[in-house]
Structure 1
Amino acid sequence: MKCALILLPGLDPVQQDHYRDVLVRNLVTAEASVSILEWGDAGVPDERAACLQVEDGSEQGTTVHVYEAWWGDLVARPEQQTPARAILEGFQLLAYWLHPSLRPAFRQSRFLTLSLVLSSLLLLLWYVGILTAGLAAIGADGSLGALSAKAGAVAEAIGGHAIWVAVAGLLALMPVNALVAIAGFTRRYLTNMATADETGLRDVIRGRVHRILRSTEGQGYDRVVIVAHSFGTVIATDLIAEMSAPVARPLRLITLGSPARVLAYRSRWLRRTLERAYGAPVIAEWHDYYSEQDWMCTTMFDAAQHDGAFQSHRLERDAPLVDRLTGVTHKAYFRDRAVLRGILAALGSQEAPSP
Structure 2
Amino acid sequence: MKEAIIFVSGFDAQSQNYFLDNFLVPGLLTQLEDLDIKLDPEDVKIPGQTGKRFYHQLETDRKIIDIYEVYWNDLVNRLSSQDTKQKLGRGLSMIFYWIVYNWKIAKISPAFFFQTSIILILILLWYFGIVVLFLAAIANQPELESSTFIQNILAPATQWATNGFGWQVWLVISAVLTFLPLPINFIVDLIYFLTCYLRNESIKGTPPIRALLRNRVKQSVDNVTSEGSYDKLTVLSHSMGGLIATDFLADYHDQQSQQLRFITWGTALESSSTVADWLKLEIKKCLENPYVGCWDDFYSKQDWLCSKVPVIKSQSKSKLVSKHVSFKVSLFKQFSGESHMEYFFDSKVLRNLIMG
- Shared topology, TM-score over 0.5? yes
| Partners of 2:236 and 2:263 within 8 A in 1 | yes
- Which consecutive unaligned segments of at least 5 residues does structure 1 have? 347-355
**Aligned ranges for residues 209-220 of structure 1 at < 5 Å?**
209-218=217-226, 219-220=228-229
Aligned counterpart for 1:293 among listed residues 293, 296, 302: 302
User: Aligned-pair distance for 1:181?
Assistant: 0.4
User: What do residues 40-81 of structure 1 show as CA deviations (whole Å, max 9, x unaligned)?
Assistant: 2x252331011111112223x111111011101112243352
Is the partner of 2:234 in helix, strand or coil?
strand
Partner AA of 1:53 in structure 2: Y
**Aligned ranges for residues 8-19 of structure 1 at < 5 Å?**
8-19=8-19
Equivalent residue, structure 1, for 2:104: 104
Is the partner of 1:264 in helix, strand or coil?
helix
**Aligned ranges for residues 1-355 of structure 1 at < 5 Å?**
1-21=1-21, 22-31=23-32, 32-40=35-43, 42-59=44-61, 61-77=62-78, 78-81=80-83, 83-99=84-100, 101-141=101-141, 143-145=143-145, 146=151, 147-155=153-161, 156-160=163-167, 165-174=171-180, 175-218=183-226, 219-243=228-252, 248-302=257-311, 307-346=317-356
Give the whole-Å Cα distance in 2 for the aligned partners of 1:245 and 1:253.
14
Q: 119-128 or 2-11, which moves further after superposition?
A: 119-128
| Partners of 2:13 and 2:19 within 8 A in 1 | no
Q: 123-132 or 298-307, which moves further after superposition?
A: 298-307
Is the partner of 1:228 in helix, strand or coil?
strand
Give the whole-Å Cα distance in 1 for the aligned partners of 2:239 and 2:278.
18
User: Aligned-pair distance for 1:160?
Assistant: 4.6
| Partners of 1:9 and 1:232 within 8 A in 2 | yes
Give the whole-Å Cα distance in 2 for the aligned partners of 1:86 and 1:178.
14
RMSD: 2.2
User: What do residues 211-260 of structure 1 show as CA deviations (whole Å, max 9, x unaligned)?
Assistant: 11112225221110111000000111111112267852111011011012
Q: Give the percent of matched residue pairs that are identical in Structure 1 and Structure 2.
A: 27
Cα separation, partners in 2 of 1:39 and 1:217, compared to 1, 3 Å: same
User: What do residues 252-308 of structure 1 show as CA deviations (whole Å, max 9, x unaligned)?
Assistant: 011011012101122122222122222321111101111111111111124956743
Partner AA of 1:2 in structure 2: K
Cα separation, partners in 2 of 1:306 and 1:248, compared to 1, 3 Å: closer
Q: 192-201 or 307-316, which moves further after superposition?
A: 192-201
Cα separation, partners in 2 of 1:154 and 1:331, compared to 1, 3 Å: same
- TM-score, normalization: structure 2? 0.88
Partner AA of 1:320 in structure 2: S
User: Aligned-pair distance for 1:165?
Assistant: 4.3
- Which consecutive unaligned segments of at least 5 residues does structure 2 have? 146-150
